[in-house]
Amino acid sequence: AEFGVDPCIDERVDSAIRGINTGPFCIQDRSKNYIIRAITADGRRITLFNDWTAKIRQSGDMWQYEYEYTHYYYRENIVAAVCATADAVKCPCKPFDK
């Protein structure tokens, strides 16, 4: 699946994926700023926060997975996700806090 273009993304890092039903989805590494790049159930390409309260779990419905960020009560049905690094130099916005 193509995860779209995001100017903040430095590179996709499949080895950083910890797995589903656990938070955070990507490993925590202070030397890198991992974020989650995902495809939603309606086809949008989005960037999601990789926090210890954020997890991707199997939903059991036709969309297969659900991203849940309990700190802000945010949920999104997704069909695919990967870990990526955010590049503070390329990113036109303020980078996520670690």
pLDDT attached to residue 68: 82
- Decide if pLDDT at 16 tops 90: yes
Count Cβ atoms below 10 Å from residue 87 Cβ, excluding itself: 14
Q: pTM higher than 0.75 for the full model?
A: yes
Q: What is the pLDDT of residues 23-47, one digit of tens each?
A: 899 998 877 888 899 999 899 999 8
Tell me whether residue 92 is in a domain. no
Q: What is the enclosing helix (H) or strand (E) of 36? A: strand 34-40
Tell me whether residue 26 is in a domain. yes
At a CB cut-off of 8 Å and minimum separation 6, what does 87 contact?
A: 8, 9, 10
Tell me whether residue 4 is in a domain. no
CA-to-CA distance for 89 and 54, rounded, in angstroms? 25
pLDDT attached to residue 3: 66
Q: Quick one: tokens of 74?
A: 């945010």
Q: Quick one: tokens of 53?
A: 């309260």
Tell me whether residue 19 is in a domain. yes
Range of the domain at 68: 9-86
Tell me whether residue 29 is in a domain. yes
Tell me whether residue 98 is in a domain. no
Q: Which residue has 């960020």 as its token pair?
A: 69
Tell me whether residue 79 is in a domain. yes
Number of structural domains the chain divides into:
1
At a CB cut-off of 8 Å and minimum separation 6, what does 79 contact?
A: 1, 39, 40, 41, 63, 64, 65
Residue 35 · residue 47 · CB < 8 Å: yes
Question: What mean pLDDT comes out for the span 87-94?
Answer: 64
Q: What is the pLDDT of residues 44-81, one digit of tens each?
A: 999 888 888 888 888 777 667 888 887 777 888 898 89
Tell me whether residue 93 is in a domain. no
